[in-house]
Amino acid sequence: MAEQCKVCGGTGVTDVSRQQCPECKGSGKSKSFDLTRMTEKDLGNLLKGGSGCHTCGGSGTITVETKCKVCGGRGEMISCRVCGQPLDADTKGDMCSLCAKRPLVQKLSPACDTSDLEVDMTYEGVVDSLANFGAFVNLNSRTRGLAHQKHLTRTPEVGETIFVQVKNIASNGNIDLVPVILPEYQIIEVEKDIPRTQISALRGHISKLVHISGEIIQIKQTGGPTIFTLADETGTVPCAAFEKAGQRSYPEIESDMIVKVVGELNTRNNELQIEIREIRQMWGADSAAIRDEIENALDKRSEPHDVEFLIDSPILKALKPEMRKVAKEIRKAIFHSRPIVLRHHADADGITSAIAIEKAVLPLINEVGGTDAGYHFYRRSPSKAPFYEMVDITRDISFALDDNARHGQKLPLVLLMDNGSTEEDVPAMLQAKVYGMDMVVVDHHHPDDIVDQYLLAHVNPAHVGGDFGITTGMLGTEIARMINPDVSEEIRHLPAVSAVGDRSESPEAAQYIELVASRYKLQDLKDMALALDYEAFWLRFSEGRGITYDILNLSNLKRHRELVPLLVKQANEAIKTQLEASLPSVKTQELPSGALLNVLDVENFAHKFTFPPPGKTSGEVHDKLCQKYPDKPIITLGYGPDFAVLRSRGVLMNIPQMVRELQQEIPEASINGGGHLVVGSIKFVGGMRKAVLAKLAEKIGRADVEYS
């Protein structure tokens, strides 16, 4: 057994110094020339008037290394195979001098059988039963021999540990044992000597004893056996161990350990499963070598696919390196069997972006971890706010810790989509960091630099000169194709749905809409987006996988054709009812810039706790006013007791900047919020509403307009 030398750090060297070159005496020039050994460069130097010393390379000094005396320059400490004590550098063999003098007693590991016994060797055994002709002795749970009465100097007790020498192994498997008494001895455990098999090659070893080594990624206690899921550099396999019904087997084995498993390979429900005979943690260099093999193999396997974008976009091309980085982190989590928590804004853009990723990752998760892995290693949850709220991170941490405690699962990778780019996300990110939950963000809200220090990767169009016109649905779909190109055709319409849902007017939006024009009319895309927004309101914190798949025509075409018109009809009726209540109460004022400011008290002049909610109500009112005044810059401000929602057209605002200014000007209002440059929301303390709205109106009034 070897481990890295702590004195030299595994280098085998304790000191490195520079000394004068003995060949040239520090001059750096060679005293004699051998033309047959000269390189072209050396010859050129010679013709120019000189040649450097071959020993020191012309530097005049040489490097002198002092060999580590503790490990003898090996870089690793060799331990005695019996007692485990470090061996001196000059020790010959693999045992210390003390152990080499004492008789060895071998102890069979649980995986060993008769084939692992050696005649004339001494073994530790336990008396199993007594008979008139002798004592039956168990050398392990599957190997038993007989100590004949004629060899017994006394009658041992059942359950007593004794030492026995193997005198003979008959052709029928019977083992003849002779008890021995040793005043001094050293016990050494004998392991089953089977070559290691990679998990990907197990199919050829069914009904055979196999040895695999890898990392424990999950431990699940069933009503019967304990199931250890083990991963190596090629895949994963469940390994079952049974003590008693519902009782944890091998409690010393924990998640993330590198272990060696020996067991019989069988199939269960058409999937491979190893019945464990022996499982033990690996240490030192052996463990490090296995972990390095896994990491190197999975790092290569995690490289995203190099696919062409569905459309031509300079912004997407500029974002490609960071998009590939996100795709690699997601693939790496899958192949490391690390759970993925996908958080997304609960609107059409957030839902389409998340479902694109979901469609890409679930087949890979099930491929790596088995048919039910998607239930254990993936979870998607919508967020009502366009940022990672404290209620979201609290729920995610709670679920993650429960899964870690119950199943030994790793803490998850958190993927934030259509949120995560702003300073409002930082409190949640700080909590995630405490628990070691890594995070990546794909978003198109105006970003704040402060979040990048908490992220593994961050895709946002603003980082390369783009804006919110590149929707998260577009980004998510293209990243999903990098993760798993097989889903490209199935999800190619999702960017168009997100574009109309987020009212994008970017060139990319037009291209994505045109891309699916042969299959979906523009109104079809708008209907799907509205149906998503409507259903998301009622789903609240539920992912609603089945119904959202039906809305997006990812499941059942018949249901899609029946469901979307029904939801659109219900949504439009609800919007109509809300507008009838709200529009008469809108107060309009022309600002000095020529823009029209429209103000609505959504708390008192809109229906509560129903669709559309305050934000969408303000958006629908804004759309009506834009139709009424097609040639005027429009700003719509919907406000409640402790919030305000802003929508604008033709006005050059920067809502995130306005929020930061308000925070400094009215600190007692505890203001937070943000969004896009011209679309966003603000929260504040209810008692400061009048002061906040007054300051907000001043800032709106000073904003320039694009036209008048």
Would you list the DSSP string of 302-315?
TPPP----SS--HH
Q: What is the mean pLDDT of residues 371-380?
A: 87
Are the CB atoms for 530 and 381 separated by under 8 Å? no
- pLDDT score, position 38: 52
User: What pLDDT score does 689 carry?
Assistant: 94
**C-alpha to C-alpha distance for 538 and 551, rounded to whole angstroms:** 14
Q: CA torsion sign, 307 to 311 to 316 to 318?
A: positive
Let me know the angle formed at the C-alpha of 523 by 522 and 526, rounded to the nearest 5 degrees: 90
pLDDT tens-digit profile of 87-121?
766 666 666 766 767 788 999 988 898 989 999 99
CATH 3.30.1370.160 fits 586-705, yes or no: no
pLDDT for residue 525 is more than 80: yes
pLDDT of the residue at 382: 93
pLDDT tens digit sequence for 609-629: 899 999 899 999 999 999 999
Helix (H, G, I), strand (E, B) or coil at 107: strand
CB burial string 197-236: b at 16+ within 10 A, e below: bebeebeebeeebbbbbbbbbbbeeeeebbbbbbbbbbbb
Distance separating alpha carbons of residues 248 and 245, to the nearest angstrom: 9
CATH class of 102-190: mainly beta
Percent above pLDDT 90 for the chain: 63
Write down the pLDDT at residue 1: 46
- How would CATH label the architecture of 314-520? Alpha-Beta Complex (3.90)
Q: What are residue 56's DSSP bridge partners?
A: none
Q: What is the pLDDT of residues 410-438, one digit of tens each?
A: 899 999 999 999 888 999 999 999 999 99
> Would the pLDDT of 474 be above 70?
yes
Residue 601 CB-density burial (10 A; 0-12 exposed, 13-18 middle, 19+ buried): middle
Q: Are 700 and 661 in contact (CB under 8 A)?
A: no
pLDDT digits 0-9 by tens, 621-669: 999 999 999 989 999 999 999 999 999 999 988 888 898 899 999 999 9
Query: Rounded mean pLDDT of 498-523?
Result: 96
pLDDT(399) > 70? yes
Spatial distance between the Cα atoms of 541 and 380, rounded to a whole number of angstroms? 10
**pLDDT at position 47:** 47
Considering the entire predicted model, what is its pTM?
A: 0.75
Give the residue-averaged pLDDT of 542-552.
94
More confident residue, 375 or 90: 375
- Reported confidence tier of residue 75, pLDDT bands at 50, 70, 90: low
pLDDT score, position 707: 62
The torsion angle over the Cα atoms of residues 453, 457, 460 and 465, rounded to 10 degrees, is 80
Q: What are the extents of the domains in the chain?
A: 102-190, 199-284, 314-520, 586-705
Interatomic CA distance for residues 597 and 591, integer angstroms = 7
113-172 pLDDT, tens per residue?
Answer: 898 999 999 999 999 999 999 999 999 988 999 999 999 989 999 999 999 999 999 999
Per CATH, which fold does 199-284 belong to?
A: OB fold (Dihydrolipoamide Acetyltransferase, E2P) (2.40.50)
Contacts of 576 by beta carbon, 8 Å cutoff, 6+ apart = none
Lowest mean pLDDT among 46-55, 245-254, 394-403, 567-576: 46-55
Query: At 179, is the pLDDT very low, low, confident or very high (cuts 50, 70, 90)?
Result: very high
Q: What's the confidence (pLDDT) of residue 145? A: 95
Same fold, 102-190 and 199-284: yes
Residue 32's pLDDT band (boundaries 50, 70, 90)? low
Give the tens place of pLDDT for each residue, 308-362.
999 999 999 999 999 999 999 999 999 988 999 999 999 999 999 999 999 999 9
In whole numbers, what is the pLDDT of the chain averaged over residues? 88
**Residues making up the chain, counted from first to last:** 708
